[in-house]
Structure 1
Amino acid sequence: MSFDRPAFNRRHFLELLAAGMGAGMLPSALAAQAAAAGQPVRGGTLIANVSPEPSAGLVGGINISAPVLPISASIFDGLVTYDRDFKPQPQLAESWEQSADGKTITFRLRRGVTWHDGVPFTSADVQYSILNVVKKTHPRGGSTFAKVTSVDTPDAHTVVLNLSGPSPVIWSALFGTETQIVPKHLYEGTNPLTNPWNSKPIGTGAFVFKEWVRGSHILLERNPNYWDQGKPYLDRVIFKAIPDAGARAVALENGEILLAANNPVPESDVARLAANPSLVVNTEGWQAPAPIFFFDFNWRQERFRDIRVRKAFAHAIDRKALAENVWYGLATVATSPVPSYQKAFHNPDLPQYEYDPRKAEQLLEDAGLKRDANGVRLSITHVTCAPYGPVYVRAGELFRQQLKQIGVEVKLINYDLGTYVRKLFTDYEFDTSSMWYSCYPDPQIGVQRRFWSKNIKPGSPSSNGSGYSSPEMDRAIEAMQEEGDVEKRKAHIFEMQRIAQEDVASITLLELQFYGIYNKRLQGLRAGPLTFYSTLADAWLQS
């Protein structure tokens, strides 16, 4: 492994690329016939894009930033995967059963699975991972697995989760990049957040990590000992770092890269690329992550504890203009922290803050924030979500313009990904910020983390970075976690949304329509709501 290699080695990358082209573009006559018949063809190198390049490790359930997850999904398998209807399907667990009272879930693990270093995968790995990684360090795991009181391992291939009561949310969170299973023999006795194996991961998945050349690429190679015999079909996958969005669009158009997740091109380019007959623009693959964009206050600052100030900001931002002009229609105005299309959980009857600069001005006046000689009531900094693309910088510009109308002077700050994560989730050095989080199919997985005081976890990305803390909110969230009855639990979820909106704990702005783009030569992607967070074990290249 050569993770520590410091320089961009273009020659080495081109050698890898040439090797892949040889295998993938010059198939045998039999392979050509198989491809023509729509049957998987073995061999070849898939060149994919990673954007932005990960700042830390590649273990999706520890470093949960979006660019890590499509890579991690092919290195690590989960207990289960999901079909198009988000029903669990076997992966590391061959079967499972839940007791009638919902207090135990038993998984029967697949036999003969090994970690990439040759050590057998056992129930001890699952026990360690759930109790010491998922529950303790994952920004969502503490809530998702809140009812898990212990994990038993009666034998090497059986895992029993013991719960204090029924927990519907667990069944939506068992996939590999959410409920992360890591090798106990490499993690036990360490801090999972800083374990060096995060950057040179050892998994159980279809592809084996080989190297990470910073600024160039991440190389995965076929796992010859993969439990699913005959898979994967590809010889290797190279995740190439292309920092410039325009260059990524060109690389997709000319076939230099065949797969790019995480909104790889500007929203203004989507319609043009969708019209390209060799490309597919896929939005379905993001339905389960359910990304939502919001504006946060740093609640550690006294000025933002005045609800009149927070309401003023909410009335000052034109969310319709944000969706139509900044996102080119690839977003809709959010009315709740829970996306509207999650009809089982979305509360349609919540207070809203319409775009009204006059009302915003009056609220600031009432809060005692008068304009000075230069017309400024308040000066703040705003950290944009710049690492994830220029659209977030443009959103920041819109915030700056609209807040200026009500006398708020905004200085925009654009960080690289590593600095962004550190400033917002470790140092808490910001006034306001904007970011997107994945909500996932159940609000207990992705929504409550924004508002639960126990999710203020220094050093944990995508946790409660704002520092918002409310006893009333905590009671609603913890009641949601504890309640096993579906309808009673729904009432607590509705209550969580009501409190968030009434408190203006954060300004939920948009429901985002994310997209991934891939070349039609690439076959075998796992279709469904988790397309871009799924393994590439089934993927193959058509000539």
Structure 2
Amino acid sequence: MKFKAFFLSLLAAWLAFVAPLSAHQYGGSLKVALFPEPPTLVAGLSGLGSASIVSSKIYEALVTYDFDLNPQPWLATSWETSKDGLVWTFNLAEDAKWHDGVPFTAADVVTSYEVFSVENDRLKLIAGKIAAVEAVGEHQVRFTLNEPIPSFIYMINYGNLPIIPAHLYAGGNYRDNPANATPIGTGAFKFADWEKGSYIHLVRFDDYRDGSEPFLDDLYFVVIPDAQGVAVAFEEGSVDVVSASNLEGFDVSRLAGLDGVESTKHGWEMLAPHGFLWVNTQKPPLDSVELRQALNYALDKAFIRDVVFNGLATPPRGAFDSRTKFFDPSVNDYAYDPEKARKLVAASGYDGTVLKLSTAPVGSAWARLAEYEVQAWKEVGINVELDNNDVGGYLKKLGDRSYDLGNIYLYQYGDPSVGVTRNFYSFNDVAGSPWNNVGRYLNADLDAILGKADSVTDADERAALYAQAQQIIGNDAVQVWTAELEFPTLYRSKVRNLIATALGLSDSFAGVWIKQ
């Protein structure tokens, strides 16, 4: 009897283990609404979220992250660190292949680091702290640091260090490489075709790992340039998945309530999209801290939350998102106070110069936000006009620094040293990029505080330093903060395991399946 009970317990455990796997079904196409259309599908060439949503199916990174931001295996199967934190060794997948059939090796990781330590603004910030990246075996790579980097495991996220093939990119110009015409990755899906203005088509990579994934036959990313069109397409079933970032806020709750539709707020834990305006702080009259403070006080953040984003936002308190580590809730939130804004405008010596608010056509909510901002600032005596651009033109103006004010949201990547401090280092004001210190804020004291905060390993000391930095950034009104954004994902109930990590729609989709 004891043996029988033991056997039955083993059988029950085995069934519990295999049941989830056996429940997965192969086949089917998944259609995802996409906007704006990305300029490229090659990993790391565009900072647009839409580019990441597509390219993360083609390419992979060393690690991904669960909803609690714990690192999880992706191309790296395991890793260990030395006691002093200066050596990180990653053991790599031995069964991974590139889509052209070439085996994946440690050399690909080395080449990827060599490329993106130059090309990626965030990774570039820590390149000087990394002594060497070397292959120490065909499937093992070692990062040796000059000093501890407490956020290192977050620094190698997909947005910073996607892995690209050494046999196509070693020793060449990355941005002008002929290989960019046909993206080749190790991901669960490979590039099939791209009908510009219509759709991007990816198909199952049959040689992905051991062949058990992916479950889907193919993916279609359907380009729909307006929120109304996205809503109609989802409601009528033309697409299966849509992010609230591509919908009108009032449509989110309506569509989520339809039969056969589910929604989730998971999948943004790592990215924490944070809305604000770049302010060209070196350009008069915006070099006046009083005027920048007035711009902040003039905006009703509750109105922005409730009316502009239909409740899918949280009023921010400065540069750090409340979902990001070391957020300090004591920072001035610039509560709506138009009278104080008027007094600050007068104190600034502002002479009525017309300021330009640069915008891009990335959704009606952002158009409403810009229109509201212009009116709110007019009411406190600041003259602002809209400067409408296409996406490319808008990003070029930011890169060229030929703008006054510009709405944007950026990802914070869990740790401030990855996604926040890059926006404020004086030395990171590098013309040509729309993703670094675009505000051109120069403060040597802040540089020193941030540099230390980004490097010390003691969590309490980091917290104190980041709190000090947040107070400086807030008091100087370096930016105009608008919203901590929430983008629920809506999807058909037949779609299973869609949002599985903290990267949400920017993860691999290897485990996504459709119930037939």
* Matching of residue 365 in structure 1 with residue 313 in structure 2: no
Give CA-to-partner distance per residue, 1:334-359, whole Å, 9 cap, x none.
Answer: 113112244x4111222342322222
Give 1:452's match in structure 2, choosing from 420, 425, 439: 425
Contact 1:79 1:174 in 2 (8 A): yes
The residue correspondences of 1:68-79 to structure 2 (distance < 5 A) are 68-79=51-62
TM-aligned CA distance change 1:262 to 1:145, over 3 Å = farther
**Aligned-partner Cα distance in 2 for 1:273–1:447:** 33
* Matching of residue 435 in structure 1 with residue 408 in structure 2: yes
Contact 1:44 1:234 in 2 (8 A): yes
Contact 1:219 1:238 in 2 (8 A): yes
**What residue identity is the alignment partner of 1:419?**
G
The residue correspondences of 1:190-339 to structure 2 (distance < 5 A) are 190-198=172-180, 200-261=182-243, 263-339=245-321
The alignment partner of 1:286 has SS state of coil
**Aligned-partner Cα distance in 2 for 1:140–1:446:** 7
* Matching of residue 485 in structure 1 with residue 466 in structure 2: no
Give CA-to-partner distance per residue, 1:125-161, whole Å, 9 cap, x none.
Answer: 111212331x222122123555322112122211110
- Alpha-carbon shift at residue 241 of structure 1 (Å): 0.6
Give 2:36's match in structure 1, choosing from 47, 52, 64: 52
Contact 1:149 1:162 in 2 (8 A): yes
Give 1:404's match in structure 2, choosing from 368, 378, 396: 378
Contact 1:393 1:414 in 2 (8 A): no
* Matching of residue 389 in structure 1 with residue 389 in structure 2: no
**What residue identity is the alignment partner of 1:395?**
L
- Alpha-carbon shift at residue 262 of structure 1 (Å): 5.7
* Matching of residue 379 in structure 1 with residue 354 in structure 2: yes
Contact 1:146 1:481 in 2 (8 A): no
* Matching of residue 124 in structure 1 with residue 107 in structure 2: yes
The residue correspondences of 1:145-184 to structure 2 (distance < 5 A) are 147-184=129-166
Contact 2:317 2:481 in 1 (8 A): yes
Q: Hey, what does 1:542 align to over in structure 2?
A: 515
RMSD of the TM alignment (CA)?
2.2
**Aligned-partner Cα distance in 2 for 1:299–1:228:** 53
State the percentage of identical aligned residues: 34
- Alpha-carbon shift at residue 93 of structure 1 (Å): 1.2
* Matching of residue 348 in structure 1 with residue 294 in structure 2: no
Q: Hey, what does 2:46 align to over in structure 1?
A: 63
TM-score, normalized by length of structure 1?
Answer: 0.87
TM-aligned CA distance change 1:489 to 1:57, over 3 Å = same
**Range moving further from structure 2, 332-341 or 350-359:** 350-359
* Matching of residue 464 in structure 1 with residue 437 in structure 2: yes
**Range moving further from structure 2, 170-179 or 405-414:** 170-179
**Aligned-partner Cα distance in 1 for 2:171–2:453:** 33
Q: Which runs of 5+ in 1 are unaligned?
A: 1-33, 371-376
Contact 2:357 2:384 in 1 (8 A): yes
The alignment partner of 2:77 has SS state of strand
Q: Hey, what does 1:96 align to over in structure 2?
A: 79
Q: Hey, what does 2:5 align to over in structure 1?
A: none
Contact 2:64 2:503 in 1 (8 A): no
**Aligned-partner Cα distance in 1 for 2:452–2:158:** 27
Equivalenced residue count is 499
**Aligned-partner Cα distance in 2 for 1:477–1:131:** 25
- Alpha-carbon shift at residue 287 of structure 1 (Å): 2.2
TM-aligned CA distance change 1:198 to 1:480, over 3 Å = farther
- Alpha-carbon shift at residue 387 of structure 1 (Å): 3.4
**What residue identity is the alignment partner of 1:274?**
A
